[in-house]
Structure 1
Amino acid sequence: MADAVLPAARRSPLAHAADRLAAVGRDTGGALELSELPLLTQIDVRLDPKGAAADAVGLALGLQLPAEPDTVVRAGNLSVLSLGPDEWLVLGPPGSRQDLESRIREAGGDEPVSVTDVSAQRTTLVVSGPRARDLLAHGCPLDLHPRAFRAGRCAQTTLARAQVVLVAPDEPGGGFRVLVRSSFAGYLTDWLLDAATEWRA
């Protein structure tokens, strides 16, 4: 009998860039910090926001699904991003996919609910430090001033022409989360590293 084939362990698309990302903080004297949040669980959820499933799913996740597009709700180690009138992206820690999927599907009951694991589709870069907004402004068309893009906001936009989901820092001085498709992660990392040289100490 043939040996069972075990699935290959997932590897972050930016595992090879960890040292270069970490060096930015040192090279810029702390003006910028770049890092990756690898292998986050990402579940795309679509349902009727006015149906019974919306409240039930929110209850199962311990939060209320954000009703306003381009907003974020957080509870514990979960974040839920509103990507449209009937679409949300649930972000959880690595390894939580099965639990989150089960909770969402069970809460949805007989209601029409789409639950799709998109964890492998994107990775997450964190851009923080006093110059984080300036760095991102070099390649992003959004107004990133704190009055316009503040805590609790997110947006589907472009950064250096790559499609991303950008999440505002939780608090002043916190880091921006940049969710980028895995196939563009290396390109965007190279762009960020190059743009960061402006603030080299």
Structure 2
Amino acid sequence: MADTLVAHHPLEFVVSELSAASGSAVTLTPEPFLPQHIVRLPAGSATAAVAAQLQLPTAANTWSRTADGRAIWLGPDEWLLVGSESTDAAASAARERELLDLVQTVGGAVTDVSAQRLGIRLGGPKARTVLAKGCSIDLHPKHFGIGTAVQTVLGQAGVVLLALPPGADGHPEYLVLVRSSFAGYLATWLLDAALEFTSSSSAAR
């Protein structure tokens, strides 16, 4: 009988540390595996109709909500679609076929990149301060408001950074999408960057 492959989250070794570090000042929460697809579309009026149907943002460095997640602008002809719920490989492949049937009508392309990136969500009043320790982007809400999405470097790791609506505590939240192979490194970097604000650090003082 063939062996059954079990998917393991690359951050499962550090989940307890991220949870322990989260408190009233900053929260660090790994996202589950989510379906992700790159969509490429050529320019043209027909393409605009397809883009509207997929709810793709047209402004540079932005993201928008879609029927089943988020669409992130990566370039003039490229978007990253991220689902809102974890799915298995079969469901992700079905979604890829569905997208492909639509975009091929205008000469577009779709690639399943679900295994490429993982998300880490940051929240709390000190989340922006933690990110600013390793990111050169001006994260002030005046320049990096809700709906903004940029490709940048955080702690020397390439990421896609999204400004999300405020959390339940009313403070801004951010989503960091990082390559799976760098996820463990970035998680430990964030733990170190947030150390001065964590509950365990406060208790030690």
Task: State TM-score, norm by structure 1.
Answer: 0.88
Matches within 5 A, 1:141-180: 141-171=136-166, 173-180=171-178
- State the match for 1:9 in structure 2: 6
Matches within 5 A, 1:28-39: 30-39=24-33
Confirm whether residue 115 of structure 1 aligns to residue 110 of structure 2.
Answer: yes
Report the CA distance between 1:5 and its aligned residue.
Answer: 4.8
Runs of 4+ in 1 over 6 A off after TM superposition: none
Of 71, 75, 80, the residue aligned with 1:80 is 71
- State the match for 2:191 in structure 1: 193
| Secondary structure of the corresponding residue to residue 171 of structure 2 | coil
- State the match for 1:94 in structure 2: 86
- State the match for 1:56 in structure 2: 50
For 1:166, give the aligned amino acid. L
| Secondary structure of the corresponding residue to residue 28 of structure 2 | strand
Of 12, 22, 28, the residue aligned with 1:25 is 22
Report the CA distance between 1:76 and its aligned residue.
Answer: 4.2
Report the CA distance between 1:50 and its aligned residue.
Answer: 2.6
2 CA distance for matches of 1:187 and 1:181? 10
For 1:164, give the aligned amino acid. V
Contact 1:55–1:65 at 8 Å: present in 2 too? Answer: no
Consecutive unaligned residues in structure 1, runs of 5 or more? none
Cα distance change, pair 190–69 in 1 and its aligned pair in 2 (3 A): same
Contact 1:47–1:54 at 8 Å: present in 2 too? Answer: no
Report the CA distance between 1:144 and its aligned residue.
Answer: 0.1
Consecutive unaligned residues in structure 2, runs of 5 or more? none
The aligned length equals 192
Of 119, 133, 136, the residue aligned with 2:131 is 136
Contact 1:168–1:176 at 8 Å: present in 2 too? Answer: yes
2 CA distance for matches of 1:139 and 1:199? 16
1 CA distance for matches of 2:120 and 2:19? 12
| Secondary structure of the corresponding residue to residue 15 of structure 1 | coil
For 1:136, give the aligned amino acid. L
1 CA distance for matches of 2:20 and 2:67? 30
Task: State TM-score, norm by structure 2.
Answer: 0.87
Contact 1:68–1:82 at 8 Å: present in 2 too? Answer: yes
The percentage of aligned residue pairs carrying the same residue is: 41
2 CA distance for matches of 1:17 and 1:51? 47
